[in-house]
A and B are shown apart, each in its own frame.
Chain A
Amino acid sequence: MAHVKGQARLSRSRGGDYFMYFIMFFFGIIFAIPLYYTVLNSFKPLNELSIFPPRFYVVNPTTEHYTLMLRLLSSSKIPFSRYLFNTIFITIVGTVGSIIIASVAAYPLAKHEFAGKSFLYNVIVWAMMFSGEVTSIPSYLIVTGLGLYNTYWSIFLPNWSGTGNVFLMRQFMEANIPGAVVEAAKIDGSNEWNIYWRIVMPNVKPAWLTLIIFNFGGYWGSGAGYINIEEMKLLPTAIGQITSAGMTRAGAGCAVGVFMLVPPLILFLFSQSAIMETMSTAGLK
């Protein structure tokens, strides 16, 4: 990717630079507030949490909220480890499934010629506009009609059927896999599955890293929409029980918030450049 080099730019005034920096600094602070305040509160002892006016720093940091969080979660009817395991399970299976299904479908859409290809592409673009909320009613009828209620399929299948993943994969493959490479492999006698697995996939690593981030975040924070069995419910349910107690649990609530935020944020930090590379092909022509 052509990254902009740090050379002096033409048509840039000093004053303008400082103005931009000021704006970005100002909004950067505003955007950092919720994150900072969550982390801060999670280390404030109870008496500091209830000081007026609220403080933007902590005098005697404590980890009591983290231990309280673990104690609360393990004393509930169903052990915390159960919710955690459920969430980890659906996050891994869901994310891997999303990426494989999307990339297998995206490869022919990017590199094959077949009737209906451009129609499918248009459908994908249209469908990206309609978020799940909009079709939630008929989807609910379908999930129950297919007998998927109270199974994890009710989380996987609607997510796997999404068009956003296929779109990003297809755009990236279109821009980054030269047709000549695919043709050369065909001349050598590779079959399509081999080409997909040995040539296409290794060359679209940035795209699957990006999809890992986007999907991981979604599954990790996913509530159990169509699941009504307590043993099968997910982390946000357990966390809702803690945070619903309000002010007295504010510290524990923030500890939970930190716990939920850290995994997706770490993943994001590590794959930021891959995401940038993928999203640069995401445009609609």
Chain B
Amino acid sequence: MIKFKKKKSAILERNRPISYMMVGPWALMFIVFGVVPVIAGIFLSFTSYDMLNTPKFVGIDNFIRLLIDDDIFTIALKNTLIMAIVTGPLGYLLNFVFAWGINESPKKVRNLLTFLFYAPSLGGSLVFIFQLIFSGDSYGLLNGFLLEYGLIDSPIQWLTDKDYCFTIVIVVSLWLSCGTGFLTFLAGLQSLNREYSEAGAIDGIRNRWQELFYITLPQMRPQLLYGAVGTISGSFGAGSLNAALTGNPSTDYCTHTISLHLGDCAFTKLEMGYAGAITIVLFAMMLTYWFFVNKALQRWSTD
């Protein structure tokens, strides 16, 4: 990272109206569509509101109902936590391994590999092909393959059988996980200071694994943090892929997530207050998670 020193010069005046004018348009939109929704969500969570009558204050009833009475929320919570604690970090790790592997590969194939890994996440419309690959009849690619080699006797309903569907969703989301985080890792690796690794080699770094742990990773903290932000936002917001692959609601809600539950409560049942409470819980979970991730990354790689 290049850091410019902040110079206190006479020409670089402080607090000029022009600065605020330039930030203004974006900041205004951000307040309306980014800040107000959060505040409105907090307010809504203490009310009962069906979009027709005026919101009625109900205290913490929504939260009590959410934690005690709502069995579907419990499933959604469990799935979201699996997405956040298993799928998210696993995807993050794979992103880094792939980026590192590309950086270790000969220059000729780097662009091709980058393209291959990044392309699936660019095409949101690829969900359709995953439905063909995991199709429940024998024309599905996976079933066809397994039947052909005698590994199974009859086709498996990958997307509707509750024993399999969540696993398939996880696999597909890993397939689609190489997005901006992956590009950031790759770019970070390519702009590392080569002198460090050369100095390291002289000082006794014997192989690429030692170089990775003692030289490369400690320099990568900014990119690792940026990637973590994206991973958190992706895994806690997960839902649309689940719905596209396994339907909404899925069999016995087996791939249901908090984000999908939120949509159901708000737009199907018109319980805006209750949905607001779900929003707040989701928010609190993300913040807690970020707190620990940030702590962990900071302790582990100090610069």
Contacts and interface: CB of A to CB of B under 8 A. Distances in A.
Interface of A: 1-4, 6, 9-13, 16-17, 20-21, 23-24, 27-28, 30-35, 37-38, 41, 49-50, 52-54, 101-102, 104-105, 107-109, 112-115, 117, 120, 125, 127-142, 146, 157-158, 160-163, 166, 174-175, 178-179, 182-183, 186-187, 191-192, 196, 214, 217, 221, 236, 239, 243, 247, 250, 253-254, 256-257, 260-261, 264-265, 268-269, 272, 275-285
A20 B125 contact: no
Given A107-B22, A134-B283, A11 B205 contact: yes
Counting contact residues on chain B (CB < 8 A from A), the size range is 35 or more
Closest 10 CB pairs of A and B: A283-B222, A138-B37, A10-B201, A279-B187, A131-B237, A161-B29, A53-B144, A105-B26, A280-B187, A133-B237
A161 B40 contact: no
B226 to A, nearest CB: 5
B187 A278 contact: yes
B120 interface: yes
Interface stretch (B59-67, B158-166, B228-236): B228-236
B126 A279 contact: no
Given A10-B198, A114-B20, 5 more contacts: A35-B116, A52-B138, A138-B38, A141-B40, A265-B119
Contact of A31 (B20, B27, B107, B117): B117
Given A107-B22, A138-B276, A37 B132 contact: yes
A141 B125 contact: no
A160 B25 CA distance: 10
B41 A183 contact: no
B30 A163 contact: yes
B59 to A, nearest CB: 19
Contact of B194 (A4, A161, A175): A4
A158 B14 CA distance: 31
A269 B4 CA distance: 32
Nearest to B26: A105
6 contacts: A11-B206, A16-B208, A38-B129, A114-B14, A247-B139, A276-B190
B300 interface: no
Given A137-B279, A161-B32, A105 B187 contact: no
B7 to A, nearest CB: 6
Contacts of B105: 20-21, 24
Contacts of B200: 11
A181 B27 CA distance: 26
Given A54-B139, A174-B4, A280-B191, A260 B262 contact: no
Contacts of B259: 133-134, 136
Mostly, the B contact residues are: helix
Given A35-B126, A133-B237, A269-B115, A157 B98 contact: no
A179 B12 contact: yes
B14 A160 contact: no
B233 A131 contact: yes
B222 A284 contact: yes
B22 A192 contact: yes
Interface in B43-79: 44, 51
Which of B6, B139, B198, B230: most chain A Cβ within 10 A? B139
Contact of A134 (B193, B240, B282): B282
A161 B208 contact: no
A134 B235 CA distance: 11
B33 interface: yes
Binding site secondary structure of chain A: helix
Contact of B16 (A50, A112, A253, A282): A112
A137 B19 contact: no
A276 B183 contact: yes
Nearest to B6: A113
Given A135-B279, A137-B266, A157-B33, A108 B22 contact: yes
Contacts of B40: 138, 141-142
Interface in B175-193: 175, 178, 180, 183-184, 186-188, 190-191, 193
A141 B120 CA distance: 33
A22 B43 CA distance: 54
A41 B115 contact: no
A134 B147 CA distance: 41
B1 A283 contact: yes
A178 B9 CA distance: 14
A214 B180 contact: yes
A109 B15 CA distance: 12
A129 B38 contact: no
B118 interface: yes
Nearest to B201: A10
A12 B207 CA distance: 6
B88 to A, nearest CB: 12
A264 B144 contact: no
Contact of B1 (A175, A221, A253): A175
Contact of B122 (A114, A264, A284): A264
A207 to B, nearest CB: 12
B254 interface: no
A105 B29 CA distance: 12
A250 B131 CA distance: 10
A146 B117 CA distance: 41
B36 interface: yes
